[in-house]
Structure 1
Amino acid sequence: MELEFLGTNAGVPSLQRNVTSMALRMFEERRTFWLFDCGEATQHQILRSSLKLSKLEKIFVTHLHGDHIFGLPGLLSSRAYQGGTTKLTMYGPPGLKQFIDVSLTLSQSRIEYELEVVEHTGGTVFEDQEFTVESLLLDHRVDSYGYRITEKDKAGSLDLKRMSEYGLKPGPVYGKLKRGESIDLGDGRMLKPEDVLGSPKKGRVVTILGDTRPCDNVLTLARDADLLVHEATFMDDLKESAYNYHHCTSVQAAEAALRAGAKELILTHFSSRYKDMEHLQPLLEEARTVFPNTLLAEELVLFPVQRHT
């Protein structure tokens, strides 16, 4: 898993940064990527990346402010022209479906692939054999949600030496053991998966927040996360402005990461008053005084999701 930021600005785009969007790349895990928010010009940012809209599987929307959703109609319309034929599912707060329906209907856009819009008010919004996605309400001017993406634990690697000792060769039997099934060796013995499998691989947890003030649900979503993506609209000397606009400072984001026991923090959603990466360095420095393992989101740069044990 890798995160690729397609927009890191708050409110409006600037010459240096686009508005909010990020891709969770899962090409090794499921050969797709998921998108979190879709501000204006997100599809242009995707064209500048190695991402292909044909591989987009899901979109998770945190809230309905324009800097998080104005890129959706164009991206959805373009997807079919870029080879997107598979089903696309969107998740977000109530009102998302109306926004999509009205935008596509009035523009007479034709969507030739299956598009499903799932509105939610928190809880478990998606689960399959590989991942669970949970959501909770945050503290913002409109209903804004954070998402906790949990990769399920995977079976350990097969001990090939032990397999050889049992006279087993690569083939379907390997798959059965990896799936947790016992094997009849044909001599009255049963080979159990735990006899030849290493320790399970702990699944990773990624927490991606929408716009928010500090609140308890931030800590719940970020508890022991391998990676927390947290808004940091202002430096801490503008804490009062952050509160008034229902946002956070870089120090407040770092405090949340520390209290939640997160392993790594990436700051994003920066006010346009901070013009470029050089002007963002003070935000990073003050956050690191609280939580040293902090990074600044940078657009079109890949951030691997590390597996912490």
Structure 2
Amino acid sequence: MSVRELVILGSSSAVPTKRRNHNGYFLRWDSSGILFDPGEGTQRQMRYAGLSAHDVTHMCVTHFHGDHCLGIPGIIQRMSRDQVAHPVPAAFPASGERFWRRLRNATAFADDSPTVGHPLHGAEPVVFTEDTFTVTAGRLQHRIDTYGYRLAEPDGWRMLPQRLAERGVSGPAVGRLRSQGVVLNDAGERVELTECAVPRRGHVFAFVMDTAPCPQAVRLAHDADLLVVESTYLEREAELAATYRHMTARQAGQVAAEAGVGTMVLTHISERYEPGDDARFLAEAGEVFSGDIVLARDLERIPVPRRREG
């Protein structure tokens, strides 16, 4: 049975705390595993989460501030040590390629890693195209070049058993109807897919990290079933957020509301906040967003919600 879930490996911002590691997010998507923004300590967090280097099939780096990338050397060296054989494309802003090279070769090790750099150019590049999903990127508004990511499953069809029975389509013919769009039933009658199925929108996951509120963040998150979004500050620090080009929880909620998101995960929490502030993040985002809100906690596993209709 396929699994689609997000594993929070770290949820702090620039400085890790006793309860929040530097950033790190692992998206298990069926047989694929996409590692987003591996900050310092990600390799150890993966051990705690029961994840291995072999689980990583893709890597996406939003930008090259340390809390989003200092775990890259450990991950790559672990892949070499564990003899990961499958290729692991790693996306990152092209303007930071010098940092990628430094991190990729940070220490002396037997470099057998299958990781291949994939520098991103332009405003909205296509990053990866696989059989079951496509990852695109969008340029955000931070202090250095930063990309957010959007993983989208192709739209498909939901078969209607009652209609299939009424039209005399069963067994292998159902699969042919789904793939070919038309079959002949046992009576020799032509049956079209639209008679026995309704459109099913594909699953969408979005990852919007360090940025000021901007239209591109909304585009990346459009109709996402699950959005991971930075909410570094509470509203009382809105001026700081603007200065450093980050978002408050309320601003993150506004992005999710404008984008029509199903569930949002608030993360990238400043070290200034204590456990007693957690409820305020949820409350401030909830002032403008009526969907489900989760405040990220390290090592938490969050199932990708079911596809929404429409």
1:211 corresponds in structure 2 to 210
SS of 1:48's partner is: helix
Contact kept, 8 Å, 2:136 with 2:150, in 1: the verdict is: yes
Structure 1: 5+ residue stretches without partners: none
1:15 corresponds in structure 2 to 18
CA 266–108 in structure 1, closer or farther in 2 if over 3 Å, else same: same
CA 165–150 in structure 1, closer or farther in 2 if over 3 Å, else same: closer
Q: Matches of residues 224-263 of structure 1 in structure 2 within 5 Å?
A: 224-263=223-262
Structure 2: 5+ residue stretches without partners: none
Contact kept, 8 Å, 1:8 with 1:270, in 2: the verdict is: yes
Between 98-107 and 217-226, report the one with greater CA deviation: 98-107
TM-score for the superposition, normalised by structure 1? 0.88
Between 181-190 and 299-308, report the one with greater CA deviation: 181-190
TM-score for the superposition, normalised by structure 2? 0.88
Corresponding residue to 1:128 among 127, 130, 153: 130
What is the CA-CA distance between 1:200 and the residue it aligns to?
3.3
1:137 corresponds in structure 2 to 139
2:78 corresponds in structure 1 to 78
2:28 corresponds in structure 1 to 25
CA 52–270 in structure 1, closer or farther in 2 if over 3 Å, else same: same
2:289 corresponds in structure 1 to 291
CA 35–186 in structure 1, closer or farther in 2 if over 3 Å, else same: same
CA 61–296 in structure 1, closer or farther in 2 if over 3 Å, else same: same
SS of 1:89's partner is: strand
d(CA) in 2 for partners of 1:71, 1:90? 13
Contact kept, 8 Å, 2:182 with 2:193, in 1: the verdict is: yes
Over the matched positions of the two proteins, sequence identity in percent amounts to 31
Structure 2 residue 45 is the aligned partner of structure 1 residue 42: no
User: Which residue type is aligned with residue 60 of structure 1?
Assistant: C
d(CA) in 2 for partners of 1:36, 1:174? 38
SS of 1:139's partner is: coil
Deviations 1:250-277 (A, max 9, x none): 111112222222222211000011133x
CA 167–21 in structure 1, closer or farther in 2 if over 3 Å, else same: closer
d(CA) in 2 for partners of 1:181, 1:308? 23
User: Which residue type is aligned with residue 228 of structure 1?
Assistant: L
Contact kept, 8 Å, 1:104 with 1:110, in 2: the verdict is: no
What is the CA-CA distance between 1:69 and the residue it aligns to?
0.4
Contact kept, 8 Å, 1:73 with 1:100, in 2: the verdict is: no
Contact kept, 8 Å, 2:76 with 2:113, in 1: the verdict is: no
Q: Matches of residues 162-173 of structure 1 in structure 2 within 5 Å?
A: 162=164, 166=168, 168-169=170-171, 171=172, 173=173
What is the CA-CA distance between 1:190 and the residue it aligns to?
4.5
CA 186–205 in structure 1, closer or farther in 2 if over 3 Å, else same: closer
